[in-house]
A and B are shown apart, each in its own frame.
Chain A
Amino acid sequence: MGHADDPLLPGFVLHRTPFRESSLLLEVFTPSGRLGLVARGGRGKRSRIAAIVQPFVPLWLSWTGQGDLATLAHVELRPPPLSLTGRALFTAFYVNELLLRLTSRHDPQPELFEHYQWLLWQLVAGAEEWTLRRFEVVLLAELGYGLLLHCDGDGRPLRPDSRYCYHLERGPLPLQGEAPCPLTISGETLLALDGHSPPQLGAEREAKRLLRAVIHHHLGGRPLRSRELFRQMFVRHTDQGE
């Protein structure tokens, strides 16, 4: 990787910030993982680059140089165009923040890249919250933080009609009578999150609580800014959050 005549790779900009006098610093996500790229002249307002290196725009990219900051060599649009609007756009910002916070640079993630791309198209098509939960499950699994969703913490198969207490380090354990548990969840919801069955009534709420707790744990407790914005925005109309 890293020569101007390298073939173009598919990619997305996760985030961009001004860099030096007229450049942009891009965090991009490609099948080779996340990397930092300097787009020289990318802040020239009439620059062709500035117009297309935006989040959620499917791109072809190549870069030169190695190490922590490479230089964007070539970029072009990768049709078809992906047009996110409204609430889906805020969900997509949340997903970008998750990727920025949870992935490391230069850690190849071809599977996760495909899932990310799939999720964006699902959001364009009006995906429901459950799609986002399934993406979060895949994201955690691909990064080595996978949830235990097919058996309990002692290796016994999960029973859809049982309730469990999800322990962040051990996984789900059958709920014991009076013992307090901060994170209860049904076997049915756990199995649905694993992709074995469609979500039942109430699964979305349970699944959201579980994933929020697990992600919070892996983020070291530092809150997600996009979630805060999302909350401010939608709290006045619904009580769903993201």
Chain B
Amino acid sequence: MTHPPLVLRLLEALRRLPGVGPKSAQRMAFHLLERDREGALRLSLALQEALEGVGRCRRCHNLSEGELCPICSNERRDGQVVCVVESPADVQALEQSTGFQGRYFVLGGHLSPLDGVGPDELGLEQLAAQVAEGEVQEVIIATNPTVEGEATAHYISELLAASGARITRLAHGVPLGGELEYVDSGTLSRAFHGRREVQ
């Protein structure tokens, strides 16, 4: 079957979404174009506005509309404790299951030695600079329990070793290969509250 060029472009664009293959892309495109053109317009506007309006928080690198995200600009959050996570989804998961009142630092990934993803790509110098300012008393490393997450945690603990801050790591209970985002909240809560010293 051949599609008009504009439909082809839409299919191509939809396939950029994670988990969307040719068939799902076609289903989505036909749904939007045939059954829900109003919804399609809303989707395209929302996407455009989000792209223009959402950037990264200057302090924690989480997604944010302002220069500082709501967590960083909330004065009741405890600036003495910083939790380092791989992705914005991890912030969501921890917010929902732990009652954590400190701040975050979002790496946007993990060290991947063979792919050339190093400390610069993760903003680790900025993290070190923030900790060096002196307010931070504890850094909780909550990278995923994968080998790359473990390597990242080790790198960060070495990087911050001389800072004087206490460095802790989530306790076991998060399974090997698990990703925080998908760990059930009971397990995540136990891991968070049972965190231990790295050094």
Residue of B nearest to A227 (CB): B113
Q: Which residues of A are found within 8 Å of B182, using beta-carbon distances?
A: 45-46
* Contact residues in B for A53 (Cβ distance below 8 Å): 177
Q: Are A21 and B19 CB-contacts (below 8 A) given A45-B182, A89-B150, A96-B114?
A: yes
User: For window 34-57 of chain A, which residues contact chain B by CB distance below 8 Å?
Assistant: 45-46, 50-57
A50 to B181, CA, bound (A): 14
Q: How far is the CA of A78 from the CA of B154 in the complex (A)?
A: 26
Known: A51-B176, A54-B176. A232 touches B154 (CB 8 A): no
Is the CB of A15 closer than 8 A to any CB of chain B?
Answer: yes
CB-defined interface of A199-238 with B at 8 Å, one 1/0 digit per residue?
0000000000000000000000000011011101110110
- In which size bucket is the chain B interface? 20 to 34
The interface on chain A, measured as residues whose beta carbon lies within 8 A of the other chain's beta carbons, has a size of: 36
Binds A, one of B63-71, B102-110, B115-123: B115-123
Q: Are A226 and B177 in contact (CB under 8 A)?
A: no
Q: Find out whether the CB atom of A97 lies under 8 angstroms from the CB atom of B19.
A: no
Can you name 30 A-B residue pairings with CB atoms under 8 Å? A17-B115, A20-B21, A21-B18, A21-B21, A45-B182, A46-B182, A50-B177, A51-B175, A54-B177, A55-B147, A56-B147, A84-B147, A90-B113, A90-B151, A93-B113, A93-B114, A93-B151, A94-B113, A96-B114, A97-B113, A225-B114, A225-B115, A226-B114, A228-B118, A229-B111, A229-B119, A233-B119, A234-B158, A236-B158, A237-B161
Q: List residues of chain B with CB under 8 Å of any chain A CB.
A: 18-21, 111, 113-116, 118-119, 146-147, 150-151, 154-155, 158, 161, 175-179, 181-182
Q: Give the B-binding residues of A (Cβ under 8 A).
A: 15, 17, 20-22, 45-46, 50-57, 84-87, 89-90, 93-94, 96-97, 100, 225-226, 228-230, 232-234, 236-237
Q: Which 3 A-B pairs have the closest CB atoms?
A: A51-B177, A226-B113, A93-B113
